[in-house]
Amino acid sequence: MIPSLIVLGMLGLIFGILLTLAHQRLKIELNPLVEKIANLLPGLNCGACGYGKCSSLAEAIVKGEAEPDRCPATKPEIIGKIAKAIGKEISLKEKKVARLLCAGGEKNAKKSFLYRGIKDCQAAVLIAEGNLLCKYGCLGLGSCALACPFEAIKMDENLLPVIDPEKCTGCGKCVETCPKGLLQLLPRSRKFLVACNSQDQGAATAKNCLVGCIGCQKCVKVCEPEAITVENFLAKINPEKCNNCGKCVEVCPRGIIKMFNLLGDFPTV
């Protein structure tokens, strides 16, 4: 019995020594700069940057394969620290946030049938393109909210996603998730938006939704800088020409042209 214990003890000692030697020989030395940048990144490992982990992005930044501002969740002051750490100057880009191109929802968009399937927009759209008469409208099942890694999207009582501009990082996860293409990443400074995506003729839109754009061109006529055009029965605003006068909001009979306040939220009209 005792000899067996001695043998086992010796084997354990030998294996321990071998493992220690193997660890010393095979260990990978981490670049301290990579480690420093990884610690500056949020550490969410959300993949919004295109890399699987924050540490992978940090390594890519050090190698020059990614810019210091690649992570959309990183704050400007942290981006500055990252750029300084690698000895690079960078001009910060304007923050983009997700915006919803629909104002229909439960109260305004009429249904063609009652959907009782999986509560997922990707699944619902497979059945007759969704249960709305307007085939361009938000289905209201909240897939975008579930996809947001920063909890920046909440569904309101009208079953429309509401985006918190303070939490939104512009990662684009919600944009990828929406089967209707109703979420777009737009510069936060953009003040006016046509909250509709319907390309049906005016009469059809008026029948299908209480607030959809009918392409009446009233906004076009009052826009002095000619920033608004109507394409496929849908008004579009050119932010480069828009002077933020707000006349289009006043004349829109459907109330579909929305103005963001300083916080980026739709005001109550």
Binding site feature residues for [4Fe-4S] cluster: 46, 49, 54, 71, 134, 138, 144, 148, 168, 171, 174, 178
Among residues 37, 35, 100, which one has the least CA distance to residue 74?
A: 37
* Helix intervals (H) in 86-208: 105-108, 121-124, 143-147, 173-177, 202-208
Read off the tokens for 217. Answer: 């061109």
CA–CA dist 202, 248 (Å, integer): 18
> What phi, psi does 14 have (nearest 5°)?
-65, -45
Residue 179 burial class via C-beta count within 10 angstroms: exposed 0-12, middle 13-18, buried 19 and up: middle
CA–CA dist 95, 71 (Å, integer): 12
Residue 6 burial class via C-beta count within 10 angstroms: exposed 0-12, middle 13-18, buried 19 and up: exposed
- With beta carbons less than 8 A apart as the criterion, state whether 101 and 174 touch: no
**CA angle (269 as vertex; 158, 144 as ends), nearest 5:** 35
- With beta carbons less than 8 A apart as the criterion, state whether 41 and 71 touch: yes
Binding residues: 46, 49, 54, 71, 134, 138, 144, 148, 168, 171, 174, 178
